[in-house]
Structures are given as structure tokens and as C-alpha cells.
Structure 1
Amino acid sequence: MEKKLKGKARGEELLYDFLAENMGLTKRQISRAKFCTDGICVNGRQARVTTMLKAGDSVEIKLEDAVTQSGHLVPYAGKPDILYEDEDLLVVNKPEGLVVHPSHGHYSDSLANMLVQYFLEKSEQVKIRCVGRLDRETSGIVLFAKNRAAAGRLARQREQGQLRKEYLALVHGVPDQSRGSINTGITKVPGSLMKMMASETGKHAVTHYTVQETFGGFSALQITLETGRTHQIRVHMASTGHPLLGDKIYGAECGGMERAALHAYKVKLMQPFSGEKICIKAEIPEDMKRKMNQSVAK
């Protein structure tokens, strides 16, 4: 999908400096645009970055061509649950059991394949760029950028803590503290293709939790992450003796759940170009809601 940014000079200034400082573009983005036809224009005419701007000059830079798309992905018929969409972002509520990207055994029936079909039906050419993914068993919010520049800005927001997801987890037992943090590294279990484990020598990982409600034998926790390691929440909670209900990899008992009881229910971010604050929520799925309601009824 084509993406252009426009701006207006307020005084004399080198075009390169205006693009970098006033429009917030990276050296790589500016360099890429230089070699595109009409990639960088001043008052409607292609210009060099060494051009000296005058007050009132109109500047336009092309960040992505109109013909970009995820040509390597096969369209898959399905109806994604779209929570939010604008020219740069797409936020989807992923059901449990659906993989985000093609993987072993799921080469053409992933959420990404489904979105290829979605954009084809809208006659839009969009390359799928996921900003943070979820495990197959985890339900909830998945964020996609519709152009390269938006993906880069959202990645920076995540690094700087401006883009934050909140999760709901149902765990065995009740943690000793009503709120706490788990700061333990995570690494692969030797000889396993997918299982991870907590290790002081593993990659840095930090998980924060708050107990929202306690039930008979389990608790509902609100969780946020400082890092995004594979299976981070599942590994960290299991390491404290409070594994997720239904987690067959890291838990001891299913607790009446058919999958790991984890849902990404809220995301807070800023629109990558306008700076508008956005908060999106995904309704708690029926299996987790049913588990909590059954325990309250008892």
C-alpha cells in the first residue's frame, strides 16, 4: 500500500534536516526514498536532499510504493475479527487455536493468510507486518502494520514502553503477593524444539502481574511484559509454582481448560504518524469467562 508523508517548511532549512528532524524519518528511510521515482518532492518536483528549503515550501516523501503485498502468502478464506483499522494499522482479535504466521502443519491457514484474503476482497495491496505475535493457544489482540514505516515506528514504541499489551491469565493457586514482578532469564530446554525454561543465564525477561480476583483453587491475573520472549508468561508463571490452567507444556493439571488460559485483552499505543493515543480492548473469550463464572457459581 502506498504511503506518503507531507510537510511544510517554516523557514530556511536543508531538505535532509527537515526530513530527519521535522518529519521524524530515519537515515535508511530517506536513503530508500531518494532512489524512487518522485520519492522526495518539493513543491511537486523531485528534489535532492541537499536542496535548501524556503518558508512555505511543500515537502512530500514516498515511504512505500502502491504495489507492495505479501505475494508469498496463500489467501485463506475466513473472517478475521477486526477491532480497529486505519491507513497504517490493523488490530485483530485472534481466537485460540489459530497460528499468526504459516508454520509447520499450518502453511496456508494462519491469521496472516486470512488477512491476505481480507485485503484482496478490499482490493488493497498490503504487505502483512506483524508487530508482536501470540502463541497458537493464546487468544486476543494481534497488531499489524500496513506499511514499513508504521512497523518501524511501532517497534520503537514497544522498545520505549509506549506500546503496551495487557493480558488476562488464569493460574493455579493464589500468588503470595497481590502484585509482583518476575525477573528471570528464559532459554530453550535442551533437546526440545519448542519448550522453554526459566534460567538465570537465559535471555533477559521481565513479567509484571497483579491479582485481579481469586477463585476456588485458581486466580485471575492481569499481566504486562517488559520483554517479549517465547512463552514468557507461561514459563514465568510456572516457575513461581502458579502455571496457567490448561497449559499442557508447563502446567501439571488442566484445571478444566482445554488450552493455556491466556488472553491479550488490551493494547495501548500511539498512532505512528499522528501521535493520537489509541486504546483497544478484546472481549474475554467464552472458555475463560465460563471457567470464572462456574467457580463464582459454586
Structure 2
Amino acid sequence: MQNKKPFKQPSKKYHPKGLEILYEDWDILVVNKTNGLLTVSTETERQKTAQYLLNEYVRKGNSKSSARVYVVHRLDRDTSGVLVFAKSEKVKRFFQREWTNFTKIYYAVVCGTLKEKSGKITSYLVENSAQKMYSVSDPEKGKLAQTLYKVLKESAKYSLLEVRLLTGRKNQIRVHMADQGCPVAGDTKYGRQRNSAKRLCLHATSLSIVHPFSKEPMTFETEMPAYFNTLMK
């Protein structure tokens, strides 16, 4: 049941570094994640993650507090942009049920130019033992992945794309762009080992959802990183 009391955000002294809080109420917490920050912990990194920092934030420095955030989706460590967390298992389950109905839009700078300036990329993604994703055509072997893209601008070396995810597979945009021969700039995992880009040029710029209780449509937007424009010049 939704809390009816007015929501008061914790003091700014508890606000985590590397995360800009875009919206918060009793049920959800939406942030703009900087590149270089993990979404969740790994075996080698427990504390420098969005989930850990936001747990500290909602507990307001009280280690005994039962308050916590629940992971709904993830952004790669080096991807920046809009990230939403739930504040209960019920809200988490709602988001996960409805996730394919929400609109997720990214900006990406990719190497080279695409022959088709807009289109839909479809493949089936599989993860190998090295935790690297790759495309196959056989639906029995992988999970369906669909990506819409549109070229916004081109330069001698790069293209700026608006990308919309129709599915949300791990590393989906990075794999699909590499499949087209135009890997995301700065992507040394799926792209080129020698790359002049200083960061992975992928940013989750917009997320449109429905609130789990009020059912109100909500859209959260962030500006494209200035570095993307610098690279396009």
C-alpha cells in the first residue's frame, strides 16, 4: 500500500557522489548515473556502486535502518544516464512485469558511418564463458534482442545516434552496433582496442514509465554528455 504522507527527501549531506537524484517519492528513486560507476556490486567491488550508495542514502547514515533500494534494471559501468530503483519488492515486481512496455532512449556515438541511416536490428543474444555477449540467428540458442536506431549527425570519423531499446538484453546496443561494423566509440570490449574516445559513448537519455501506484505516466530526461558533441567535431 502506498504511503500517503508527503515525502521529504533526505538532507543533501547524504546525497551520494556520482549520482544526481532526478526524482524520489515513497516508492521509486530515479537517478542520473555517471559513467565509471557500477550499478550493482561484483566480487571485486562492493561499495563503489549505485545500489550501495543509494542504500546509504535512504538509510540516512543509520546502519540499522531497514530501508533499501531494489534493482530494477542495470546500466553498464561505463554507460551514463537514467537509472530507476524500487523501494520495495512489490514495486520491483511491478516494474519488471511492465518493463517491456516502457520507453528507453539512448544517445550513442559510434565509429564510422552506417549505410542505412535508420532501422531496426534484430538478433538473438548469447553469453559465452568470458561473459561476452554475441549475436546468433537461431532463436533456440539465444534471447531475442531488438534495437531501433536513427542517425542524428555524422562527422569524418563518427556518427551520433538516437537508439531505442525494444528489448533489454545485456550489452545489447554495444553488440548490435559492433555487428553493423560501427562499434560504440570507446568500447574496447566489443569494438576497437585502440580507440581515441576517452569513455564509452553511450548515455541513457530518457526513460518513460508508469508509476506503480498512481499509474501516472512519467518521463525522466537527461542531457547528452557534452563530450559526445566534442567528439563529433
What's the TM-score once normalised by structure 2's chain length? 0.86
Aligned identity (percent) is 33
The 1:196/1:187 distance shift into structure 2, 3 A limit, reads same
The 1:157/1:284 distance shift into structure 2, 3 A limit, reads same
Distance 1:87 1:288 in 2: 35
Kindly report the root-mean-square deviation, in angstroms, between the aligned alpha carbons of the 2 structures.
2.3
Q: What SS does the aligned partner of 1:185 have?
A: strand
Contact 2:2 2:213 in 1 (8 A): no
Q: Which runs of 5+ in 2 are unaligned?
A: 5-13
The answer to whether the aligner puts 1:252 opposite 2:195 as a matched pair is no
Match of 1:206 among 146, 149, 165: 146
Distance 1:259 1:79 in 2: 15
Q: What SS does the aligned partner of 2:116 have?
A: coil
1:146-189 Cα shifts (integer Å, max 9, x gaps): 12222222222213x2x121000101122112210111111123
Q: What SS does the aligned partner of 1:238 have?
A: helix
TM superposition shift of 1:199: 1.2
Distance 2:177 2:227 in 1: 20
Distance 2:85 2:180 in 1: 32
TM superposition shift of 1:245: 0.6
TM superposition shift of 1:5: 7.6
TM superposition shift of 1:254: 5.1
Q: Structure with the greater relative contact order (CA < 8 A, sep ≥ 6): 1 or 2?
A: 2
Distance 2:80 2:215 in 1: 27
Query: Looking at CA atoms only, which structure, 1 or 2, has the larger radius of gyration?
Result: 1
What's the TM-score once normalised by structure 1's chain length? 0.68
TM superposition shift of 1:77: 6.1
Q: Which runs of 5+ in 1 are unaligned?
A: 7-74
Could you tell me which amino acid in structure 2 is paired with residue 285 of structure 1? P
Distance 1:143 1:4 in 2: 18
The answer to whether the aligner puts 1:237 opposite 2:168 as a matched pair is no
Contact 1:256 1:291 in 2 (8 A): no
Distance 2:88 2:177 in 1: 35
Match of 2:125 among 186, 203, 206: 186
Distance 1:196 1:181 in 2: 19
Contact 1:257 1:287 in 2 (8 A): no
Match of 1:87 among 26, 40, 45: 26
TM superposition shift of 1:96: 0.6
TM superposition shift of 1:210: 0.8
Distance 2:143 2:15 in 1: 35
Aligned counterparts, 1:83-232, within 5 A: 83-121=22-60, 125-159=66-100, 161=101, 163-189=102-128, 191-192=129-130, 194-201=131-138, 202-232=142-172
